[in-house]
Structure 1
Amino acid sequence: MHLSGPLSGKWTATSLGLLSILSTVISPAAAVKEHDFKKCNQSGFCSRNRAYADHALAASSWTSPYTILPESGAFKDGQYQATILKTINDNGDTVRLPLTISFLESGTARVTVDEEKRQKGEIKLRHNSKARKERYNEAEQWVVVGGLELDKKAKVDSKDKTQFTVKYGPTSNFEAVVKFSPFSIDFRRDGASQIKFNDQGLLNVEHWRAKVEKAPEPEPEKKEGDEENKEGEQKDEEKKEEPQGPDESTFWEETFGGNTDSKPRGPESVGLDISFVGFEHVYGIPSHASSLSLKQTRGGEGNYEEPYRLYNADVFEYILDSPMTLYGSIPFLQAHRKGSSVGVFWLNAAETWVDVTKAKDSKNPLALGIGAKTSTHTHWMSESGLLDVFVFLGPTPKDLTTKYAELTGTTAMPQEFAIGYHQCRWNYVSDDDVKDVDRKMDKFKMPYDVIWLDIEYTDDKKYFTWDAHTFKDPIGMGEQLASHGRQLVTIIDPHIKNVENYPVVAELKSKDLAVKNKEGNIFEGWCWPGSSHWIDAFNPKAREWWATLFKYTAFKGTMENTWTWNDMNEPSVFNGPEVTMPKDNLHDGNWEHRDVHNLNGMTFHNATFHALKSRKPGELRRPFVLTRAFFAGSQRVGAMWTGDNTAEWGHLQASIPMLLSQGISGFPFSGADVGGFFGNPDKDLLTRWYQAGIFYPFLRAHAHIDARRREPYLMGEPYNTIIAGALRLRYSLLPSWYTAFHQAHVDGTPIIKPMFYTHPSEEGGLAIDDQLFVGNTGLLAKPITEQGKESADIWIPDNEVYYDYFTYNTVPTSKGKTVTVDAPLHKIPLLMRGGHIFARRDRPRRSSTLMKWDDYTLVVTVGRDGKHAEGDLYVDDGDSYDFEKGQYINRKFVFDGSAKSIVSTDLEGRDTKSIKEGDWLKKMKGVSVDKIIVVGAPSGLFAGKKEVKVESEGKTWTAFVEYNAPEGGRAAFAVIRNVAAPVGADWKIDLS
Structure 2
Amino acid sequence: MLTLYESQRRLTAFLLLLLTFCAYFTLVVSVKHENFKTCDQSGFCKRNRAYADTASSTSLWQAPYSLDASSVKFEQGILTGTVLKKLINSDETVRLPLTISFYESGTARVTLDEERRQKGDIVLRHDSKAKKQRYNEAEKWAIVGGTSLSSGAATSKGSEKGTTNVHYGPAGTFEAVIRHEPFGIDFKRDGVAQVKFNDKGFLNLEHWRPKVEKPAEDKKEGEEAVVAESSKEVTEDQSTWWDESFGGNTDSKPKGPESVALDISFPGYQHVFGVAEHAGPLSLKETRGGDGQYSDPYRLYNSDVFEYEMDSPMTLYGAIPFMQAQKKDSTVGVFWLNAAETWIDVTKSTSSANPLSLGILGSTTTNTHWISESGLLDVFVFLGPKPQDVITAYSELTGFTQLPQQFAIAYHQCRWNYVTDEDVRDVDRKMDKHRIPYDVIWLDIEYTEGKKYFTWDPMTFADPLGMEKQLDEHERKLVAIIDPHIKNEGNYHVVDELKSKDLAVHNKEGNIYEGWCWPGSSHWVDCFNPAAHSWWKSLFRYDKFKGTAKNTWIWNDMNEPSVFNGPETTMPKDNLHYGNWEHRDVHNINGMTFHNATYHAILARDKEEDKNNVRPFVLTRSFYSGSQRLGAMWTGDNQADWPHLEASIPMILSMGISGFPFAGADVGGFFGNPSKELLTRWYQAGAFYPFFRGHAHIDTRRREPYLAGEPYTQIITQALRLRYALLPAWYTAFHEAHTTGAPIIRPNYYVHPGDEKGFAIDDQLYVGSTGLLAKPVTTEGADGVDIYLADKEKYFDYFDYWMYEGPTTVKVAAPLDTIPLLMQGGHIIPRRDRPRRSSGLMRYDPFTLVIVLGHSGDANGTLYLDDGESFDYEEGAYIHRLFEYTSATATLMSRDLTPASSSPSKKTKEYLKSMEKVRVEKIIVVNVPESWNGKKEVEVSEELEGKSAGTRMAELEWHGKVEGRAAWAVVRDPGVLIGGGWRVGFA
Q: TM-score, normalised by structure 2?
A: 0.94
Q: Is the 8 A contact 1:426 1:702 kept in 2?
A: yes
**Structure 1 residue 951: deviation in Å?**
2.4
| 1:649–1:685 contact (8 Å) kept in structure 2 | yes
The answer as to whether partners of 2:27 and 2:35 remain within 8 angstroms in 1 is no
Answering whether residue 46 of structure 2 is matched by residue 47 of structure 1, we say yes
* Residues 1:642 and 2:642 are matched in the alignment: no
- 3-state SS of the aligned residue for 2:52? helix
Structure 2: any 5+ residue segments left out of the alignment? 1-6, 218-231
Q: Which residue of 2 aligns with 1:981?
A: 976
**For residue 221 of structure 2, what is the aligned residue in structure 1?**
none
1:85 correspondence with 2:84:
yes
Matched AA of 1:833: Q
CA offsets 1:821-861 (integer angstroms, 9 cap, x no match): 10000000000000000100000001000000101100000
Q: Secondary structure at the match of 2:432?
A: helix
Superposed, 1:868-907 pairs within 5 Å as 868-907=858-897
Question: Which residue matches 1:596?
Answer: 586
Structure 1 residue 321 corresponds to structure 2 residue 323: no
What is the SS of the residue equivalent to 1:131? Answer: coil
| 1:925 and 2:916 correspond | yes
Seen in structure 2, the aligned counterparts of structure 1 residues 560 and 382 have a Cα distance that, compared at 3 Å, is: same
Pick one of 422, 434, 446 that aligns with 2:424. 434
Q: How does 1:529-608 map to 2 (within 5 A)?
A: 529-608=519-598
Q: Is the 8 A contact 2:347 2:366 kept in 1?
A: yes
* 4+ residue segments displaced more than 3 Å: 3-11, 14-20, 122-125, 214-217, 362-367, 908-919
> 1:624: which partner in 2?
617
Kindly state the Cα deviation for residue 907 of structure 1 after the two structures are TM-superposed: 2.0
2:806 to 814, 819, 842: 814
* Residue 724 (structure 1) aligned with residue 726 (structure 2): no
CA gap 1:16/1:826 in 2 versus in 1, 3 angstroms: closer
Contact 2:353 2:362 in 1 (8 A): no
How far does residue 929 in structure 1 lie from its aligned partner after superposition? Answer: 1.3
Deviation at 1:970, TM superposition (A): 1.1
Deviation for aligned residue 1:937: 1.3
Query: How do residues 808-957 of structure 1 correspond to structure 2 at under 5 angstroms?
Result: 808-811=801-804, 813-815=805-807, 817-865=808-856, 867-910=857-900, 914-916=904-906, 917-941=908-932, 943-953=934-944, 954-955=948-949, 956-957=951-952
SS of match in other structure, 1:978: strand
Distance 2:698 2:603 in 1: 31
Q: In the alignment, which of 954, 957, 962 is matched to residue 957 of structure 2?
A: 962
Instruction: Indicate whether 1:799 and 2:803 are aligned.
Output: no
Aligned in 2, Cα 1:721/1:857: closer, same or farther, shift over 3 Å? Answer: same
1:128 CA drift (Å): 1.8
CA separation in 2, counterparts of 1:407 and 1:913?
Answer: 29
Cα displacement string for residues 401-424 of structure 1 (whole angstroms, at most 9, x for unaligned residues): 000011000100000000000000
Indicate the SS of the match to 1:613: helix
* Correspondent of 1:513 among 498, 503, 511: 503
TM-superposed CA distance for 1:364, in Å, is: 5.1
Distance 2:982 2:101 in 1: 48
User: What is the Cα-based RMSD across aligned positions, in Å?
Assistant: 2.2
Match of 1:72 in 2: 71
The Cα shift of 1:129 comes to 2.1
- Residue 259 in structure 1 maps to residue 258 in structure 2: no
Q: What aligned pairs does 1:188-199 form with structure 2 within 5 A after superposition?
A: 188-199=188-199
Q: How does 1:195-274 map to 2 (within 5 A)?
A: 195-214=195-214, 245-274=235-264
**Any idea what the Cα deviations from partners look like across 1:454-505, whole Å, max 9, x if unmatched?**
0000000000000000001000000000001100000000000000010000
Return the letter of the residue paired with 1:485. Answer: E
Check the 8 A contact 1:31/1:317 in 2, yes or no. no
- Cα deviation for residue 127 of structure 1 reads 6.4
Q: Secondary structure at the match of 2:157?
A: strand
After superposing the two structures, state which structure 1 stretch, 92-101 or 906-915, moved more. Answer: 906-915
User: Relative to structure 1, is the Cα distance of residues 262 and 328 closer, same or farther in structure 2, using a 3 angstrom cutoff?
Assistant: same
Does structure 1 residue 790 correspond to structure 2 residue 792? no
Taking the aligned partners of 1:364 and 1:446, their CA distance within structure 2 comes to: 62
Question: Aligned pair 1:8/2:1, yes or no?
Answer: no
Distance 2:533 2:324 in 1: 34
1:754 corresponding residue in structure 2: 747
Shift of 1:948: 2.9
Q: 1:644-697: CA deviations, max 9, x gaps?
A: 000000000000000000000000000000000000000000000000000000
Is contact 2:17–2:518 with CA below 8 Å preserved after alignment?
Answer: no
- Match 1:24 to one of 26, 30, 44: 26
Q: Answer whether contact 1:6 1:529 (CA < 8 A) is retained.
A: no
- Letter of the 1:69 partner, please give it: D
8 Å contact kept, 1:463–1:496 = yes
Structure 1 residue 864 displacement after superposition: 1.6
Q: Percent same amino acid among aligned pairs?
A: 62
**Aligned residue runs from structure 1 range 153-552, under 5 A:** 153-159=152-158, 162-214=162-214, 245-361=235-351, 373-552=363-542
- Indicate the residue corresponding to 1:238 in structure 2: none
Assess if the C-alpha contact under 8 Å between 1:448 and 1:846 holds in 2: yes
1:877-912 C-alpha deviation (Å, 9 max, x unpaired): 000000000000000000111122100001245388
Amino acid at match of 1:664: I
Cα deviation, residue 5, structure 1: 7.8
Size of the alignment, in residue pairs?
956
User: In the TM superposition, what is the alpha-carbon distance from 1:20 to its structure 2 partner?
Assistant: 3.7
1:234 paired residue number: none
Cα gap change, 1:18/1:716 in structure 2, threshold over 3 Å: closer, same or farther? closer
CA shift for structure 1 position 939: 2.9
CA distance in 1, matches of 2:841, 2:361: 55
1:700-779 equivalent positions in 2, closer than 5 A:
700-779=693-772
Alpha-carbon separation, structure 1, partners of 2:846 and 2:108: 47
Tell me the residue number matched to 1:220. Answer: none
Paired letter, 2:455? T
| TM-score normalised to structure 1 length | 0.94
The residue type equivalent to 1:843 in the other structure is R
- The CA distance in 1 between the partners of 2:154 and 2:662, in whole Å, is 39
1:58 matched residue in structure 2:
57
Determine if contact 1:123/1:130 at 8 Å carries over to the other structure.
no
Relative distance call for 1:195 and 1:144 in structure 2 (3 A) is same
Counterpart CA distance in 2 for 1:568 and 1:643 is 10
The alpha carbon displacement at 1:914 in A equals: 4.5
The whole-number CA distance in structure 1 between the counterparts of 2:9 and 2:967 is: 64
Deviates more, 1:164-173 or 1:330-339: 164-173
CA contact (8 A) 1:292 1:660 kept: yes
1: distance between equivalents of 2:333 and 2:753? 15
8 Å contact from structure 2 (residues 877, 910) kept in 1: no
1:321 positional shift: 0.3
Q: Distance in 2 between matches of 1:335 and 1:743?
A: 23
Deviation at 1:215, TM superposition (A): 5.6
Q: Distance in 1 between matches of 2:61 and 2:123?
A: 38
Deviation at 1:9, TM superposition (A): 6.4
| Structure-2 separation of matches of 1:261 and 1:498 | 24
1:453 alignment partner AA = L
Distance 1:155 1:259 in 2: 52
Q: Shift in Å at residue 79 of structure 1?
A: 1.1
Whether the 8 Å CA contact 1:583–1:593 is kept in 2: the answer is: yes
Aligned residue identity for 1:849: G
What is the SS of the residue equivalent to 1:464? coil
CA spacing shift, 1:883–1:805, aligned 2, 3 Å: same
Matched, 1:677 2:670: yes
Residues 329-375 of structure 1, C-alpha deviation per residue, up to 9 Å, x if partnerless?
000000001021101000000000000000112575999xx986110
Aligned partners of 1:264, 1:922: CA distance in 2, in Å? 64
Q: CA, structure 1 residues 458+618, in 2 after alignment: closer, same or farther (shift >3 Å)?
A: closer
Give the stretch that moved more between structures: 153-162 or 246-255: 153-162
* Closer, same or farther: CA 4–842 of 1 in aligned 2, 3 Å: farther
